[in-house]
Amino acid sequence: MSEPKVFLLPDLGEGLTEAELVHWLVAVGDEIRVDQPIAEVETAKSMVEVPSPYAGTVAVLHGEPGQTLDVGKPLISVTPAGAAVVEPAASPVVEPAETEDAAAETYREEEKAGSGNVLIGYGTPGGHGVARRTRAPKRAAEAAPVSRVSEAETAADDLVLLRTRVPGKLGAVISPLVRRMARDHGVDLGGLQGSGASGLIMRRDVEAAIKPAPAVERRVFAHDGAPVPALSADSTTATADTDARTGLGIAGRTAVRGVRKAVAANMTRSRSEIPEATVWVDVDATALVELRAALKKADPENTPGLLAFVARFVTAGLKKYPALNTRIVTTEDTTGGASQEIVEFDGVNLGFAAQTDRGLMVPSVRNADKLSARQLDAEIRRLTAVVRDGKATPAELGSGTFTLNNYGVFGVDGSAAIINHPEVGILGVGRIIDKPWVVNGELAVRKVTELTLTFDHRVCDGGTAGGFLRYVADAIENPGSALADM
């Protein structure tokens, strides 16, 4: 009986350390081929399908949909084609924590026997021959204890799997842990409706079906030492999902993971490291609105959006005020002390905020300073579609040098935005609305928007920030002359 090959979750790009398992594309017992997609996972950057470097029979799926998996940890075990299939209950023993790094290193060597398929930082290079797995011998006393399952339990487990299997789809129960939990608590999986994809029965479904244990009375004492009467069964049930601080019922809980987890970490780091300041100005955008209307009338199919024009003005402004197109890098000197330097860039990668179903994403237009308004418009539209489909690459999401945020689409006028670390500035554009405005000494109704610039005070002072903001505002108010000079 051949030992299954264990495929470890690869690094999916730019040193990401974890990924959320969205759903399995295969089930235990399925025959798979090399490069066949086996799972769909979501990282902080994008959603991708992971192909298998092995052909054979799926022996074990290491994880459940919704679970966060660490890079370098087991993802799937595959029994090689032509070998006897190893039962799930007899899956390989998980190595102790101190040998996991060695297993991950061995995995990188095993990849060399793959097909050549490449997936964002991970691939099977297509080496010749068969890579063999070597492992240092372990004494019996050092081996981790293994829980044994009787043949009767294994047979019952397999019967449950067959009863809940949906032909052509994922098994309604995949995880051996879930099946074992159901068996131990007398839960009939055949009668459960799974809450996962394709009716997949999750651990939470089994837990919900398990009869709750009787409440244990706990004696509570007041400050004077007198016992407080215990809650009745009814009151205990009523307060089980009540927030202790507010006394309000808890309507739901959402795990912070994936894109939301990455955004939270980046914004927290930005606020903790960057001494930011904000300046803003109201701008008469009437001339820009009229210019675009005239262009649209002449060429309805090839007219840039207003954001593309603003993006063009921003890239020109960053050339004039390059301090806002930099990055602060901390380095360690020979004495062990830390020093900082401001790194300037030869070009502008303009990031822009795009709201998606997965959260706020910031793709960047590379070398935006070399593009016209029409070219910027086309690239903004392309990247917006890519991030909403979850197909953006790490390079498209992590290479910006300055960010443009059009929060006017949400119907708001202004916002003191958080800088997208490690950048040093972000410009926000509010909605364009009719407002009273003084023109040549007379009151008139004009199209007015608000620009807000948040900048890192370590790289420049208010004079530079104000100069850049005024440059962009003047270009919006006089777009014809501004574009003629660009």
Within a 10 A sphere around the Cβ of 335, how many other Cβ atoms? 6
pLDDT in the model for residue 95: 43
Residue 285 · residue 447 · CB < 8 Å: yes
- Each domain of the chain, given as residue ranges in start order, spans 1-142, 147-253, 260-484
Name the one residue in this structure whose structure tokens are 């002359």: 481
How does residue 486 score in pLDDT terms, banded at 50, 70 and 90? confident
* Domain 1-142 shares a fold with domain 147-253: no
Ranges 5-14, 96-105, 432-441: which has the least confidence: 96-105
pLDDT in the model for residue 13: 61
CATH architecture of 260-484: 2-Layer Sandwich (3.30)
Is the torsion defined by CA of 132, 136, 137, 142 positive or negative?
negative
For residue range 105-147, list pLDDT tens digits in order.
444 444 444 444 444 434 444 433 333 333 444 443 343 343 4
Rounded mean pLDDT of the chain? 77
pLDDT in the model for residue 462: 94
Q: What is the largest CA-CA distance in the chain?
A: 93
Kindly indicate whether the domain formed by 147-253 is annotated with CATH number 4.10.320.10.
Answer: yes
Burial 123-156 (b: 16+ CB within 10 A, else e): bbeeeeeebeeeeeeeeeeeeeeeeebeeeeeee
For residue range 151-176, list pLDDT tens digits in order.
555 455 444 444 444 443 344 555 55
pLDDT in the model for residue 359: 79
- More reliable by pLDDT, 315 or 22: 315
> Distance between CA 145 and CA 93 in Å, rounded?
9
Question: Among the CATH numbers 1.10.3720.10, 1.10.8.60, 2.40.50.100, 3.50.50.60, which is that of 1-142?
Answer: 2.40.50.100
Out of 65-69, 183-187, 220-224, 272-276, the most confident range is 272-276
Q: Choose the catalytic residue: 62, 128, 421, 457.
A: 457
Helices (H) and strands (E) in the chain, counts: 12, 23
Helix residue ranges, H only, 330-423: 373-388, 394-398
- More reliable by pLDDT, 48 or 318: 318
How does residue 194 score in pLDDT terms, banded at 50, 70 and 90? confident
Active site residue 457: yes
